[in-house]
Chain A
Amino acid sequence: MLQAIEARGLAKRFGAVTAVEGVDLTLAPGEALGLLGPNGAGKSTLLSLVTGLRPADRGEIRIFGHPAGSEAARKSMGLTPQSAAFPPQITPRELIAYASARHGKRPDTDRLLTAFGLQRLIDRRMAGFSGGEVRRVALALAFCGAPRLAVVDEPTTGLDAATQEAFQSLARDYVASGGAMLLTSHHWDEIEAICDRLTMIDRGQRVLDGTLAEMRATMRINRISLVVDGAAPDWLPAPDTDGRRHLESADSDAVVTRLVREGVGFRDLLIHPLALKDILAHLRHEV
């Protein structure tokens, strides 16, 4: 099957700064890939290579088989940049009409309006729009050309909780109906809610890559916490400031059995699977 994104050995420097170094990326239609990494890791730079806004120093990128930045690649793609700003004299409706015209499509304004909660804003000039309002417009614009690939850089930064959820459900529908989505995020729950796969980059390099399901399977670790009244056995860690003792184990049943067998006086037992954030920390530690 033709990949939405197929990139090999991407590299990009800015003077002395190496922003991206030898990164491979693939993304299939009907799949969402999350890019994670600390500030300055190179996520936005990577997206600018994929969208063809900047030429890569090295490496090759194909978007549905076409070179990044080519007319065919741009036709199949929609972008929400990390920092979006629009001419203050223009209304969202006019922008949607403009972007649709450039894609050679009829504007599907009604659908975008409800999806991004723009009904009250649609005919207002954008001067004075709040940060979240601008963000909603920027997200709607990525979808106006009915793209087969959506590239969204920190889509929900600055959005209120309801709009974040609305975006997540829109993103899931988009991917379920065959769209490919590449997104960056600093929100673990957002990556968990939308993505099938994630790539973690740090200082321009890929440090981790895989499907969320695989990662969970290799990391079947539970986090156990409890309160012990009276004497505790040596194998239990000392209590935290909250009075609870925390431990991690691949076999939480065995831990509980042992507690009961040794007659430890415990209460308030909590057992959680590791959060994505902690799984990644573990996996990175192993790398």
Chain B
Amino acid sequence: MLSHLRAELVLAARILMRQPGFWVPTILFPAMLYSFFGASMAEGPAGIYALASFAVYAVVGVGFYQFGVSVAQDRETPFVLWQRSLPGAQWVGWAARIVVAMVVVLAAVGMVLLAGRWIGGVIPGRGETMRLLVACALVSVPSVLMGIALGSAVSARAAVPLSNLLFLPLAYLGGLWMPPALLPDSVAAISVWTPTRAMGEIAWAAIDGRAMPGRYLALLAGWTLLAIALTALAQARHRRAMFG
């Protein structure tokens, strides 16, 4: 079991690390966007909320891209089929990929924190940082599940453009790029139903040390269940297509 997990971790990490074109932008992009827009838009005490927003944006990005795209690409490849013929449980491979994704999330969030310090002049306290990291870890679970749903539902070719199409508007609608208060009214009405808004609210509450907002926890749980249901449906469809 342990040697299996180690082998999967090494394999997943090697495959990822040897594609710098993939992980470098994933890690740098949120920090870059924060530096260009987030840092200047929210000055003073609001600055820390912008920091939290872009940290959440980084988490959602890894969930959508690393999982959405890789799940679609890996489905039914000869390599994955061959792996299934080897001894050992299938979930170990998934666990390894999630661990590797967590490392990437941590790096991306870390870059946002560094950009906050150097460019935004925002230095969260130790408690705030810890709570923000916990919120990011919490939010990464629905992100990954939504990525898996996306990757299960569509072909590998469609996964990249589709995750762009969903991810970028969702980040905007959810108030991750600019505070929800600054969103036009029509957008604000949609915003309160998006999963990204729920994730943002959770992170902002964490910064303040407030109780998690119940409405948004429920909303996020709803989206997560929807993602799980979509995954189950799509997987059943693939199984039928493959197993006859």
Binding site for B on A (CB under 8 A): 12-15, 17, 19, 51-55, 57, 71, 74-75, 77, 79, 81, 83-87, 89-90, 94, 97-99, 101-104, 125, 138, 141, 145
Interface pair A104/B15, CB less than 8 Å apart:
no
The CA-CA distance from A19 to B3 in the complex, in Å, is 38
Bits for B71-93, please: 1 = Cβ < 8 Å to A, else 0: 00000011101101111100000
Closest Cβ neighbor of B12 among chain A residues: A87
Pairs across A and B, CB under 8 Å, 29 listed: A17-B244, A19-B244, A51-B85, A53-B81, A53-B85, A54-B242, A54-B243, A71-B87, A71-B88, A74-B86, A74-B87, A79-B82, A81-B81, A81-B85, A84-B78, A85-B78, A86-B79, A87-B15, A87-B79, A89-B14, A90-B11, A94-B10, A98-B10, A101-B7, A102-B4, A102-B88, A103-B87, A141-B82, A145-B86
Q: Taking the complex as formed, is B186 at the interface, i.e. its CB lies under 8 A from any CB of chain A?
A: no
Q: 5 closest A-B pairs (Cβ-Cβ)?
A: A101-B7, A89-B18, A14-B244, A102-B86, A79-B85
> Which listed residue (B11, B77, B81, B84) contacts A98, Cβ 8 A?
B11
A97 to B11, CA, bound (A): 10
Query: Do A13 and B244 contact each other (CB < 8 Å), given the known contacts A81-B78, A85-B78, A98-B7?
Result: yes
* B interface, size bucket: 20 to 34
- Give chain B residues whose Cβ lies under 8 Å from the Cβ of A141: 82
B83's nearest neighbour on chain A, judged by CB, is A102
The B interface is mostly helix, strand or loop, or mixed, namely helix
The reply to whether A102 and B7 form a contact with Cβ atoms under 8 Å apart is yes
Q: Apart from A81-B82, A90-B14, A103-B86, what 11 extra A-B contacts exist at CB < 8 Å?
A: A55-B243, A71-B88, A75-B87, A84-B79, A84-B82, A85-B78, A89-B14, A90-B15, A98-B11, A99-B86, A145-B87
B residues within 8 A CB of A71? 87-88
A12 to B242, CA, bound (A): 11
Which residues on B are within 8 Å of A, measured CB to CB? 3-4, 6-7, 10-11, 14-15, 18-19, 77-79, 81-82, 84-88, 242-244
B7 and A97 contact, CB distance less than 8 A: yes
Residues of B near A85 (CB, < 8 A) are: 77-79
Min Cβ gap B81→A in Å is 6
B85 and A101 contacting across the interface, CB-CB below 8 Å? no
Asked if A89 contacts B81 (CB within 8 A), the reply is no
Closest to B78 in A: A85
CA distance A39 to B86 in the complex (A): 27
Q: What B residues does A94 contact at CB under 8 A?
A: 10-11, 14
The CA of A71 and the CA of B85, in the complex, are separated in Å by 9
Question: With a CB–CB cut-off of 8 A, which chain A residues contact B84?
Answer: 53
> In the complex, how many angstroms separate the beta carbon of B154 from the nearest chain A beta carbon?
21
Task: Find B3's partner among A81, A84, A90, A104 (CB 8 Å cutoff).
Answer: A104
Give bound CA distance, A13 to B18, whole Å: 40
Q: Look across to chain B and name the residue whose beta carbon is closest to the beta carbon of A70.
A: B87
CB distance from B89 to the nearest CB of A (A): 8
Return chain A residues, CB-CB under 8 Å to B87.
Answer: 71, 74-75, 102-104, 145
A144 to chain B, nearest CB (A): 10
Question: Could you tell me the distance between the alpha carbons of A85 and B79 in the complex, rounded to whole angstroms?
Answer: 6
Complex CA distance for A145 and B15, rounded to whole angstroms: 22
Give min CB distance, A208 to chain B, whole Å.
26
- Give the contacting residue for A57; candidates B6, B15, B85, B244; CB below 8 A: B244
Establish whether residues A52 and B3, one from each chain, have CB atoms under 8 Å apart when the complex forms: no
Docked Cα-Cα span, A89 to B10, in Å, equals 12
> Please, which residue of chain B has its CB at the minimum distance from the CB of A95?
B11
Whether the Cβ atoms of B242 and A101 lie closer than 8 Å is: no
How far, in whole Å, are A17 and B85 apart by their CA atoms in the complex?
Answer: 24
Known contacts being A81-B78, A90-B14, is A15 close to B244, with CB within 8 Å? yes
From A13, A15, A77, A86, give the contact of B85 (CB < 8 A). A77
Residues of A within 8 A of B243 (CB): 54-55
Within the complex, what minimum Cβ distance (angstroms) separates A10 from chain B?
Answer: 13
Bound complex: CA of A74 vs CA of B7, how far in Å?
17
Point out the residues of chain B lying under 8 angstroms from A103, CB to CB: 86-87
Q: Which residues of B contact A145 (CB under 8 A)?
A: 86-87
